[in-house]
Amino acid sequence: MKKPSQHKFIRLTAAALSLSLLAAALALVLNGTASPLRDGGETASRPFLRLFSPLSASLEGVKDWTRGMETLREETAALEEENTRLETAARQGELAQGENENLRSLLGWAQDRQDLDLLPAQVLSREKDTWDRTLTLDQGKKAGVRAGQYVVEAHGALVGLVSTVGRSWCEVTLLTSPDFQLAGLGTVSGTLGTLEGDLAHMVQGELLFTPFSPEFPMSLGEGVVSLAHGEEPREILVGTVTSLAEDPGRLTAAGSVTPTADLDRLSQVYVITGVREEEG
């Protein structure tokens, strides 16, 4: 009885390995688009996400209390109230171009970023895995979301990049995720480099900024923005250089960047769905 059972176990393990390789290959081929199975899974889990959201919210509340974030919670509540009021105005059909400018100023973002098309999105769920940092949003292909688009928070700081898109949902890879990678620019030194996540920095809530060359050394405390390429939005704030480290292999000082966006307390974000050409 024992041997046939062990053979079956080996066969099951081999089947599991094959299926996982197939799933990984499918993810590579689809390149940002969710498979129909995954789309169905997200849609099927949506009612359970809503069902469990009060409990999830309670667990988050306990965590916040232990961290002593009372004042920040009040600030978030005020912003959410403001957000609710603005959404009500939109539903009543009052949101015109003038209202849009008013919204941007209310949100505190620089008025000269009207070159960006912003799509508001609610955070449905946070990371489902300890080894990664992702968010799931309630906007997808139907609303014009595409893989690779930037996601920012209310003050314009980068939150992450859209990685997988379904019909009415999308997954965002956060800045501190090991899968995150983006070209960056130091605002003071002019250093060009790569912003990327790794597990060591993810544990600290930071990401790594590695300069392309040693000609422009970074300075501590300087801001880092995204480097536009093609139709990507220009100069989206990423964070601040909080430490520098010598990398013996590269002779350049790589820096740890602390994101400006508070990635642990996001409830509403904005997907940059388009960039308009500036007039003049």
Partner 1 sequence: MIRPLLAVTFAALVSRCLWFPALPTLLCLLGLRFGGETGAKCGLFGGILGVILGFSPWYLPLFTLLGGISGTVFHNVSPFWGNCLRAIPILAVTCLLLALGHWLTGEDLAPCLTLAGRDFLRTVLTLPVVYPLCPKRRSP
By CB under 8 A, name the binding residues for partner 1.
5-6, 8-9, 12-13, 15-17, 19-24, 27, 37-38, 40-42, 45, 48-49, 51-53, 55-56, 59, 125-132, 136, 164, 171, 178, 198-200, 202-203
Q: Amino acid letter at 279?
A: E
Minimum separation from the CB atom of position 9 to partner 1 (A): 5
Min. distance of Cβ 100 from partner 1 in angstroms? 33
Q: Smallest distance, Å, CB 129 to partner 1?
A: 6
Q: Closest separation between CB of residue 119 and partner 1, Å?
A: 21
Q: How far is the CB of 63 from partner 1 (least distance, A)?
A: 11
Residues 225 and 215: their CA atoms lie apart, in Å, by 19
Structure tokens at 128: 């489902």
Cβ nearer to partner 1, comparing 164 with 258? 164
31 — alpha (psi -120 to 50), left (phi > 0) or beta?
left
Nearer to partner 1, 186 or 196 (CB): 196
- Closer to partner 1 by CB, 24 or 220: give it: 24
Least distance to partner 1, CB of residue 275, Å = 29
53 versus 243: smaller Cβ distance to partner 1: 53
Angle at CA of residue 253, ends 249 and 255, nearest 5°: 120
By C-beta, is 202 or 266 nearer to partner 1?
202
Task: For residue 241, list its beta bridge partners.
Answer: 257
Q: How many CB atoms lie within 10 A of CB 31?
A: 9
| Cβ nearer to partner 1, comparing 145 with 237 | 145
Residue 199 to residue 245: CA distance in whole angstroms: 17
The rounded distance, in Å, linking the Cα atoms of 163 and 183 is 16
Contact predicate 275/130, CB 8 Å: no
CB of 257 to partner 1, least distance (A): 17
Residue 166 C-beta: closest distance to partner 1, Å? 10
Pick from 145, 122, 118: nearest CA to 32: 145
Between residues 85 and 250, which has the closer beta carbon with respect to partner 1? 250
Cβ-in-10-Å burial (0-12, 13-18, 19+) of 21 comes to exposed
Taking the least distance from each CB to partner 1, the nearer of 14 and 78 is 14
**Residues listed for the chain:** 280
CA distance 166 to 43: 9
The torsion angles phi and psi of 155, rounded to 5 degrees, stand at -95, 10
Q: Please report the DSSP string for 146-190 in residue order.
A: -TT-EEE-TTS-EEEEEEEE-SS-EEEEETTSTT-EEEEEETTT-
